[in-house]
Amino acid sequence: MKIKRRDFLKGAVVTGAAVATAGVLSAAENAEAAKGERWAMVIDLDRCIGCKACAIACKTEFDTRLGVFKSQVVYNEHGEFPKTQRDILPWLCNHCDNPPCVPVCPVDPVDAEFKGVKFKKRATYKRP
């Protein structure tokens, strides 16, 4: 069956309009679902020791399947011997209202509160 160019373009326009409408409706639903303040987590990379306790706590809390992590710790090694450097970069999803990675951080204790994470002077995790 051969399709005419005009019919193809009509179908493309209808499909595009349907996708755009679905995106607008989805955005409106998400805006109503996210009432109140939402906070993101900021990590002091100078204090992170790369222990992966945050990734393990997140995996345990959300019971993800074997081999799947919502957060991870990435190590980046660069330079040449003897001047090498290792950067530690925790990648967290920042979607939790009560983040399980906060109480397990070994650097300094922090407390999660309604408006965010209350941190001490030397804490690894803090929210603005």
Q: For the chain, 128 residues long, give each residue's pLDDT as a single digit of tens.
A: 577 767 766 676 667 655 556 555 555 555 555 566 655 666 778 888 888 888 888 788 777 777 777 778 888 888 998 899 888 888 876 666 666 666 777 665 555 554 555 555 544 544 44
118 - beta bridge partners? 111
What backbone torsions phi and psi does residue 88 show, to the nearest 5 degrees?
-115, 125
> pTM of the full predicted structure?
0.44
pLDDT for residue 127: 46
Contact 98, 114 (CB under 8 A): no
Residues 85, 70: Cα–Cα separation, whole Å: 26
**DSSP assignment letter at 48:** -
CA 32 from centroid of its chain's CA atoms? 21
74 - beta bridge partners? 89
Residues 12, 81: Cα–Cα separation, whole Å: 57
Measured between alpha carbons, how far is residue 28 from residues 34, 37, 39, 116, 124 in Å?
10, 17, 20, 25, 35
CATH class entry, domain 42-126: alpha beta
